[in-house]
Structure 1
């Protein structure tokens, strides 16, 4: 367990603390300004007046201010409405904690994934399981909406003439933006853990020393294995792609919404007949976790050690499943988009013309093997510059980050359909 994993698993505590402090701060300042110290931020224009400034505000304006206050702080108010009874019961009656059943109930409540999601205002809609980016976008949209409401509150308070209480309330709302910013930073961190994933390599055959250089421009991202298509639950919103003739060639879609035996495109000869201008192809490459990490920071390297069935180059299969039995190393899967260039197609009887040599280059950029069973087709490219981009998924036995962060269990224990 690392400090980072502890921080991630404790996000709901931070959301709860922020909500608590936001409510305490805003409510305290609100009461101080309205009831006790109306001149907390601004001085009266007429100091000798004995009238309370808040009492001079019209009932209509009071209602609008309070309504905007409530809408702008809805997130914190909902969380505090749940926290208050717990704090009251166990704060004023700590003896309840001595009762084993009460203590166990409290522990179960705090450990429940539904509680974590509630405190972080994180809906457990099935569509979020495979779409961390969508989840963040909706959370960001919600925070922007709340921000706009608070800005409207500030403007409305400032536009009420000759009332320092209303202007002071505008300052209170402005202070609350600090907590809104903290919530948005936590939401962004949660999004980065999933969509800007960085594996934690373990159980490697040799010690891994990652290059100090930045990731390759071709490297789109690592994906955590809980996002793979084999992890889809089949529930509404978390189903595999059912389009039999799916034309979505995004690497994320292929890995997340299709099973490991999915072949994104027909064999090369058929694709060229259907679309003569086609030049890119989706391929899958299996290698060791150590090699995958090196590739992410640099690029692929040609295989030049015999035996090489299709010659010296970089090998790809048409599906994840069909990399099994062909790859010499295991530990990671790479899905890549490849520019095929000039392709030499060979059958079983023609393998002897290309194996253990690179004489087919530069006349050809790629050798494509038409297997008797088209599902087992594979191809070899000569130049790594033909690879346009890739996504890497490290096998779970070589990546313990998902387990440390409890990412797979994050969606367990759904309550009330979406919490």
Structure 2
């Protein structure tokens, strides 16, 4: 088969004129489908017939690793198994279950979206990408993914993985311009196979979109792609990494928090700070009380860890107050997948609450003591959850496969 590059998206190329492809789109899709059938990862949101569960998985997977989502997806469906259950829940309960996934606006929009579906669509998700786009927090990609996977609509769902696959196949550099994205959309749409029959249970459009994402996630990776394992390598004009735009440099910041614990009868409580409702990030979420860096300049933290939020890498220092009857509890063998530096405290490292509590960088009204046994039910920030688990104050939940929606 002749290998000829598709024309790059020129400045005068309109959205209506798709670039010519040097290969047969049907053959491309057929090879991809065969590969996906035999190599797809076994993920809990695949091979289901529940549009709500598909919607949930697509929202959770935005900018979050699959391994992280799997456990939380199962827990979320167990707690909120239907659109109605989610719509009728309190936002704080939704945020509590979302804690640790980050990008909490997704949880709020999902909750509001469920309420919108209950109010405007009688509790049933719209069946077309156009109507799905009216839901809070649902953009073009999410609408297309849900419509194709749950309702078999022939529409391309383009995320970062799919963009990378198409750019490499066509030999295009990364280009974020409107015209380039329109050209890429045209190509992606031309590759989506049609339904075999309206009565058929097969779902070529939905399977194709999942296969494209799977290929980008497992084979056509951003760095060191596995080209020899690619089912469509014969059509590829790049065969390796393509030209990408330079990424913004990750910012770094050092922050400090107080871990204050007290005994109340037989219960153990931890002091938490509720973030302001007007915060642009993690509004109304609970975190450890923040400390000004100057207040701890000469002290050694009991715990150090790293935590990333959007484009900032935080170097976090946790200072533990000394509280009678509550010894520090650390597990020096627990290191997470990001290789956090774990520093185990000694009694000499502890600070007196009378010294640091007055210096907390938060309003007194936003500070509350919470029972440590109920922390899993609270809307904790991801950093707070990580710090509480690293310090042994909060148990790390064991994964469970209960609560998955049944196959039809």
Q: Specify the structure having the higher radius of gyration (Cα).
A: 1
Place the TM-score, normalised by the shorter chain, in its bin.
under 0.3
- TM-score, scaled relative to structure 1: 0.21
